[in-house]
Amino acid sequence: MLNFDFYNPTRIAFGKGKVADIDKLVPPEARVLIIYGGNSAQKNGTLDEVQAALGNRRFELFGGVEPNPTYETMMKAVAQVKSNQLDFLLAVGGGSVIDGTKFVAAAVFAEGDPWEILLQRGANVKKAMPYGTVLTLPATGSEMNDGSVVSRVETASGLPDKLYFSSEHVFPQFSVLDPSKSFTLPPRQLANGVVDAYTHIMEQYLTYPVGARVQDRFAEGLLQTLIEIGPKVLQNPQDYELQANFMWVATLALNGLIGSGVPSDWATHMIGHEITALHGLDHAQTLAIILPTMLSLRRDAKRAKLMQYAERVWHISEGTEDARIEAAIQNTRSFFESLNVPTRLSAYDISADAIPAILSQLESHGMVELGEHKDVTLDKSREVLEASI
Ligand code: NZQ
Ligand code: ZN
């Protein structure tokens, strides 16, 4: 096992009715900015419930955070916090709202240009505003981690940037996970959530063995749970037990636990971010396209883990090594397709003509040595993209 530091200060309030706990979790004197997305939280009553839980505290609202939150929008929230002297943030939504809130929390204290937070991947974040979250979409794990992905529309190159930062200062203080808040999710977002969580687990599990037995077993258990419940949750989005399991799996998939002491890959995510920035695909759609091809083209370096994945997750224990690996990768692709998330660029009307721009954006963002062995060069990314058409 590799050496590691594990730190996660986020309190989780899990279960039906837990939104009311906000009254205990937010300091009584706090002046709160509630940050939310489009109209889903208004429509399903979550926003009203949150406001009721805040009681007599002073609060203001900031809506309109878009999927793949933008710097341009979030800077308006920063201005509101500063001009009205607010001191606590409350994110109500999915990964985009939570990521956007993380950026606001850090940007309020930024010295100089706040975009530097993204350019320096969070290394320059020295402090952040305290905040909590009410999760409405199981997918990203943002509710219990220190990462955030922010896009910028206006750039010098004219092409949009989608960059991540992380800092231990931007862990949420608390996250309310009430699985019934996901009952209103449309099939596309439920499927996206399953694919995103699945890929998070894979990017930390499917590298090379380091003897981390418990991390491997946790990862395999989380993958198997998603395979079991993913299709069911799409059919029965109002089944509380299914949503509860889905929500907790998605949180555990990226809260640092299974990634401690093991190598991680993230090449699929980094290529996916460029596809979203340039073509507007949902985050999970990009992962469904890239992950199966990425595994297939890097099967030699990942051979031992692919064999373990085939056997323990998909119960494939017969045939040659190559046949087992092929079947496991094919099962992964079919699983995503079974959730109605297409796994080919062409299914989203993206052709080979789009590849040079994706590669040049990867290069300009320094994404030229990706993966657990840093061997996913631009040439390898090109191969993966070409094989993903
Ligand atoms: O904006 P509203 O109206 O709220 O609608 C949202 C949005 O349109 C809707 N939605 C959310 N909860 C709902 C609901 N609709 C009905 N009922 C509900 N209960 O779902 C749509 C998508 O929301 P979004 O927050 O964009 O989705 P997701 O949670 O998948 O977040 C995606 C973002 O997270 C980033 C992605 O790159 C992307 O920008 N990621 C963040 C990570 C992290 N911080 O650790 C890791 C991930 O790999 C990922 O990169
Ligand atoms: Zn993701």
Ligand 2 (ion): which residues have CB within 5 A?
A: 196
Nearest to 319 by CA among 309, 330, 307, 331: 307
pLDDT at 212: 98
CA atoms of 293 and 298, how far apart (whole Å): 8
Same fold, 11-181 and 185-387: no
Strands (DSSP E) found in the chain: 11-14, 31-36, 58-62, 88-93, 131-135, 147-152, 161-166, 174-177
Domain ranges in the chain? 11-181, 185-387
pLDDT at 375: 98
What is the widest separation between alpha-carbon atoms in the chain? 66
pLDDT at 265: 98
Ligand 1, pocket-test mutation among 36, 39, 40, 252, most atoms within 8 A of CB = 40
pLDDT at 45: 96
Position of tokens 């409350």? 90
Provide DSSP, 36-76.
E-SSHHHHTSHHHHHHHHTTTSEEEEE--PPSS-BHHHHHH
Kindly give the distance from the C-alpha atom of residue 288 to the centroid of ligand 1, in angstroms, as a whole number: 16
Length of the chain: 389
Pick 11-181's CATH classification: 3.40.1280.10, 3.40.50.300, 3.40.50.1970, 3.40.228.10.
Answer: 3.40.50.1970
CA atoms of 70 and 35, how far apart (whole Å): 14
- Any atom of ligand 1 within 6 Å of the Cβ of 95: yes
CA atoms of 8 and 224, how far apart (whole Å): 25
- Any atom of ligand 1 within 6 Å of the Cβ of 189: yes
CA atoms of 211 and 337, how far apart (whole Å): 32
Q: Which residue's CA is the nearest one to ligand 1's atom 45?
A: 142
Ligand 1: which atom is nearest the Cα of residue 138? 29
pLDDT tens sequence across 77-119: 999 999 999 999 999 999 999 999 999 999 999 999 999 999 9
Numbers of helices and strands, H then E, in the chain? 15, 8
Single-letter residue type at 315: H
Kindly give the distance from the C-alpha atom of residue 57 to the centroid of ligand 2, in angstroms, as a whole number: 34
Q: Is the dihedral of CA 228, 284, 252, 261 positive or negative?
A: positive
Kindly give the distance from the C-alpha atom of residue 322 to the centroid of ligand 1, in angstroms, as a whole number: 37
Ligand nearest to the CA of 195: 2
Ligand 1: which atom is nearest the Cα of residue 137? 12
- Any atom of ligand 1 within 6 Å of the Cβ of 135: no
Q: How many CA atoms lie within 13 A of 216 on its CB side?
A: 18
Give me the architecture of the 185-387 domain, per CATH.
Up-down Bundle (1.20)
Burial of residue 320 (CB within 10 Å: 0-12, 13-18, 19+) is exposed
Kindly give the distance from the C-alpha atom of residue 199 to the centroid of ligand 2, in angstroms, as a whole number: 7
Ligand 1: which atom is nearest the Cα of residue 68? 39
- Any atom of ligand 1 within 6 Å of the Cβ of 139: yes
- Any atom of ligand 1 within 6 Å of the Cβ of 283: yes
CA atoms of 44 and 40, how far apart (whole Å): 6
Strands (DSSP E) found in 169-220: 174-177
Position of tokens 């530097």? 116
CA atoms of 367 and 313, how far apart (whole Å): 30
Beta-bridged to residue 166, according to DSSP, are 147
Low-confidence ranges of the chain (pLDDT < 50): none
CA atoms of 329 and 331, how far apart (whole Å): 5
pLDDT at 386: 98
